[in-house]
Structure 1
């Protein structure tokens, strides 16, 4: 169950991360387009005012389009000249003010207009932005054929406010969509995982029941064989029967043990600091005589003083199964090389892969 929970958690996290990346990318692209469109619109208006000598004609409105589509102010509306809040300052090549137009703005006096116009010229940029109080302004500096400089400064507070509101609403909408997706996906994920959980539970139940059912006939065979040896004496056939009975009993116990280990939760484990080198050495020594009886050589290359935080019983059982399989499936007169190495962040227990097992799998 822990494995299913971990897989389910990782699957939900991966899917959620993918959705977050998509939503964030989409919102970022949309908001970027809106922000760039606002800049294009502002520059178009400033260019239009500059082309008309720092004024907006009452009889017509600007027309134009850009890569981001037609601008909002390009419609033929007579209110455009009254909605645009700006002022312009004309400066000759010697730096003297030739003309000031502050009819379309109320936030600047003539002195303030001259002061801000000079500050924009001193920045050395042909266009830019600045703030005055809570208001935001954009400016553009153009030079005519006579060498005069026309500075046009326009209030774009409403535009930047609209973009900021759009960004806030879009981010809130995206966040709500992500939360709804998580809730819906978690509910659907539970439904999708149920068949796998049911199959795993049935498999574990089958292994446990089959193991217990097989123990009875194996115990009867073992008892009858021992009775035959008691009556008729030991011989090669009864010895082989008992040997295979012991092997089957061990295999059944291993299956049941592995099935129970998967069912154990983290709370059932007793995590302590154990000497892995001593555990591997003890298991290897217990199989050394068995390997020698089968004409096999068991060699150990174990790094001393290797400690891990784990459940001692589970680690011992795991190493015991690995070494038992290595001895059991090793070739005749083969060498079983057990290596225990410690890396910077990992611990490696290396055992030879038996050729017999490879052939059986093929």
Structure 2
């Protein structure tokens, strides 16, 4: 259980760190791409306003910002920007192609780009490595395509570098969190250890007085004969003895001291024999007792603990089933797993989260629990047994009853 708690702590910590890193790095990369696009749009807007030319900036004149685009212009801006432009008339026929500001695009290629962009119908966007703008003019359209390959490559390098740094950071953090996780949860572990030790010590201490009380009750019966008081004493002793047994079983399972020898066994025969022993008890309560067992189902498990699991679930079903209701035990093959289901009708269905029934000392109906003699510990033992067999146990409301399902 401590290992599971430690693994859960590590998983939560690493997941939290991963979410933070994804948000931070994602935001940085989105801001970076947005800045590149905004800067390119500013340059294109400036070129469109000035008919494909940058406004002159005198030698030694400090940088200035364009009023509309907010772009910071310097003397080097015209030489750093690679672009080409195409002019068309109102009929979208190309009248001029200017590739003097870029070396990697010929007039034929520029004409091809222009025809495709005009056909697409968008006024701005990306076309491969180029950011383009189509501005309406008195004479027709002015198409300007700017080469953003350097900025795009820089943003890609930044993305991959940030991902690499993030992965290395996560690996380092995983090592640190794994190394320090036990120290972080040490107060919880110590508290759990004290609880387990208390349960174990108290269980062993209670066994002795219970044995004495049972022996004294038998002596009273031999001396004075059976009566309702001695029978009540024996009944309560039996209940307490069962409670102590369950508590000690849970404590041992929590500490990992229960050594289970797994072997191949017929789960069909085991369920049929164990559940069948409750037939008389169910009939005494007026229940319709149904066994729907698929024969020949084999699993790998520990026989005594699996018998105890079936006993707990069927006994729970008999105790809480409605008078003259139905109790059904079914065992089926489901894909590669085996599914055991115990269903019983109820007078009143439990409210709220049904998973709380697996909590220790949790009971669905308090009044019915008192009548049936339950302490609310059996289902916790059942869950622990299923966990040791690497299975899953669930509970759900179905029709007019409640169904416990074990998948192994």
Tell me whether the two structures share a fold, i.e. TM-score over 0.5.
Answer: yes
Unaligned runs of 5+ in 1: none
**TM alignment of 1:215-226, pairs within 5 A:** 215-223=207-215
CA distance in 2, matches of 1:129, 1:239: 89
- The residue number in structure 1 matching 2:309 is 318
Task: Give the 3 Å change call, closer, same or farther, for CA 300–192 of structure 1 in structure 2.
Answer: farther
The reply on whether 1:80 has 2:77 as its aligned counterpart is yes
Q: Is the 8 A contact 1:117 1:151 kept in 2?
A: no
**TM alignment of 1:96-107, pairs within 5 A:** 97-98=95-96, 100=98, 102=100, 104-107=101-104
**TM alignment of 1:1-362, pairs within 5 A:** 1=1, 4-59=2-57, 63-64=66-67, 70-71=70-71, 74-75=72-73, 77-90=74-87, 95=93, 97-98=95-96, 100=98, 102=100, 104-108=101-105, 112=106, 114-125=107-118, 126-127=123-124, 129=126, 136-147=129-140, 149-187=141-179, 189-223=181-215, 232=223, 234-236=225-227, 244-264=236-256, 268-270=260-262, 272-276=264-268, 278-279=270-271, 281-285=273-277, 288=280, 296-297=285-286, 299-305=288-294, 307=297, 309=299, 310-322=301-313, 338-341=327-330, 346-350=339-343, 355-357=367-369
Task: Give the 3 Å change call, closer, same or farther, for CA 262–58 of structure 1 in structure 2.
Answer: same
How many angstroms does 1:301 deviate by? 1.8
Task: Give the 3 Å change call, closer, same or farther, for CA 146–341 of structure 1 in structure 2.
Answer: same
Q: Write the deviation string for residues 228-262 of structure 1: whole angstroms up to 9, x where unpaired.
A: 666x4754366665555455444433332333234
Task: Give the 3 Å change call, closer, same or farther, for CA 53–277 of structure 1 in structure 2.
Answer: same
Q: Which structure is higher in helix share? A: 1
Q: Is the 8 A contact 1:284 1:323 kept in 2?
A: no
Task: Give the 3 Å change call, closer, same or farther, for CA 276–14 of structure 1 in structure 2.
Answer: farther
Q: Is the 8 A contact 2:52 2:144 kept in 1?
A: yes
Task: Give the 3 Å change call, closer, same or farther, for CA 251–12 of structure 1 in structure 2.
Answer: same
Unaligned runs of 5+ in 2: 59-63, 347-363, 376-408
CA distance in 2, matches of 1:240, 1:53: 105
Moved more, 247-256 or 204-213: 247-256
How many angstroms does 1:63 deviate by? 1.0
Q: Write the deviation string for residues 58-82 of structure 1: whole angstroms up to 9, x where unpaired.
A: 336661466xxx54xx14x222222
Q: Write the deviation string for residues 20-42 of structure 1: whole angstroms up to 9, x where unpaired.
A: 23432343233223213212221
3-state DSSP of counterpart to 1:124: helix
How many angstroms does 1:119 deviate by? 0.6
How many angstroms does 1:266 deviate by? 9.4
How many angstroms does 1:127 deviate by? 4.5
Moved more, 336-345 or 43-52: 336-345
CA distance in 2, matches of 1:100, 1:224: 112
CA distance in 2, matches of 1:298, 1:272: 33
CA distance in 1, matches of 2:241, 2:98: 104
3-state DSSP of counterpart to 1:300: strand
CA distance in 2, matches of 1:342, 1:124: 66
CA distance in 2, matches of 1:246, 1:32: 69
3-state DSSP of counterpart to 1:120: helix
CA distance in 2, matches of 1:240, 1:99: 106
- How many residues of Structure 1 are paired with residues of Structure 2 in the alignment? 337
How many angstroms does 1:144 deviate by? 3.1
Moved more, 5-14 or 41-50: 5-14
CA distance in 2, matches of 1:277, 1:336: 25
3-state DSSP of counterpart to 2:190: helix
Task: Give the 3 Å change call, closer, same or farther, for CA 22–259 of structure 1 in structure 2.
Answer: same
Q: Is the 8 A contact 2:85 2:145 kept in 1?
A: yes
Q: CA RMSD in A?
A: 4.2
Q: Which has the larger radius of gyration?
A: 1
CA distance in 1, matches of 2:219, 2:277: 32
Task: Give the 3 Å change call, closer, same or farther, for CA 274–208 of structure 1 in structure 2.
Answer: farther
